[in-house]
Amino acid sequence: MRLATLRDGTPDGRLVIVSPDGGRWAPAPVGTLQQLLEQWDEAVPACAAVTTFAEPLDPQALAAPLPRAWQWLDGSAFDSHGALMDQVFGISPERTGLPLMYQGLSDRFYGPHDDVPLPDAALGIDFEGEFGVIVDAVPMGTSAAAALGHVRLVVQINDWSLRALAGPEMKTGFGWVQAKPACSMAGIAVTPEELGGQWRDGRVCLDLLVDWNGDRFGAPNGAAMAFGFHELIAHAARTRALPAGTIIGSGTVSNANFREVGSTCIAERRGIEIVDEGAARTGFMRFGDTVRMEARLADGRAPFGAIAQRVVQAG
């Protein structure tokens, strides 16, 4: 099943069911995605019974599938990215065997074609391509084995970052606030079965194609997560119950051969340049720059649609 949210002037929009080819939609039997997540077992059969899609889908009319969420918890589950950043910054973090995770802003997610307003280009504007999952209610103490059964939807995310603020905030010991503005989400959320064999062991095993100002920047694959989404969910739920509608992110998609496949964030490209050449050559984004992110199945379909956005001056 493929779900999207049409803008209708309300904070949560109007939930619709998207045709298998992504070109048309039909009304959902519940009003919003949050309502569906809270009533999943009762409402999903009626959603799955929808087979007639009469209305053409305009990607520009889409909000994020879940325009606001109770929680946004972002991991950092790709070891190649973390190891590179550690090398660049000359740090040797203590290895606990636990996933890295922070809690970010969740009261809004930008839609896939929204302009993204930011205050100052000197803050080191960066995109970060990720995959994510949306869960139903997860009890405190849920095991990783049981957590996979709580994954209801899979999404594609751009976790915007302001790199000039990230380092100073991390050094305070309290973590990110200003360095992490609102994220963006591709327009279509899919149930795991929509990905077929590309959903394996709690991982989205698809290339994430990223273009910056029309040029290919990277295409790493999501299979390389050191921790699957089920393990990230169990980590988050160790001491808290997760409400239905919690979004868990994978962190920046990265592969060990990043010099060949490229990257999904500028910071990684700059890190490679520092290691290989002694200094970063690639600058961060400027106002007016665009970024496009799209994952594709073997048949060429983009299950989540595309994120295609422009950075603009706030004001």
Domain ranges (residues) in the chain: 1-63, 66-313
Secondary structure class of 144 (helix, strand, coil): helix
* pTM score over 0.75: yes
pLDDT at 241 over 90: yes
Average pLDDT of 119-145?
98
Q: Are 149 and 178 in contact (CB under 8 A)?
A: no
Question: What contacts 104, CB < 8 A, 6 or more positions away?
Answer: 72, 73, 74, 159, 176, 180, 183
pLDDT at 174 over 90: no
Average pLDDT of 50-59?
96
Rg of the chain over CA atoms, in angstroms?
19
Secondary structure class of 292 (helix, strand, coil): strand
Chain segment 278-315, per-residue pLDDT in tens = 999 999 999 999 999 999 998 889 999 999 999 999 98
DSSP state, 110? B
Chain segment 6-15, per-residue pLDDT in tens = 999 999 999 9
Please tell me the predicted confidence (pLDDT) of residue 71.
97
Average pLDDT of 195-200?
97
pLDDT at 173 over 80: no
Please tell me the predicted confidence (pLDDT) of residue 94.
67
> Poorest-confidence range of 17-31, 85-99, 102-116, 239-253?
85-99
92 — pLDDT class (breaks 50, 70, 90): low
> Poorest-confidence range of 4-18, 123-137, 167-181, 224-238?
167-181
Please tell me the predicted confidence (pLDDT) of residue 81.
87
Please tell me the predicted confidence (pLDDT) of residue 172.
81
pLDDT at 170 over 90: no
Q: Are 91 and 284 in contact (CB under 8 A)?
A: no
* Topology of domain 66-313, CATH: Fumarylacetoacetate hydrolase; domain 2 (3.90.850)
235 — pLDDT class (breaks 50, 70, 90): very high
pLDDT at 93 over 70: no
Sort 36 into a burial class: Cβ within 10 Å, 0-12 / 13-18 / 19+.
buried
Q: Are 120 and 312 in contact (CB under 8 A)?
A: no
pLDDT at 206 over 90: yes
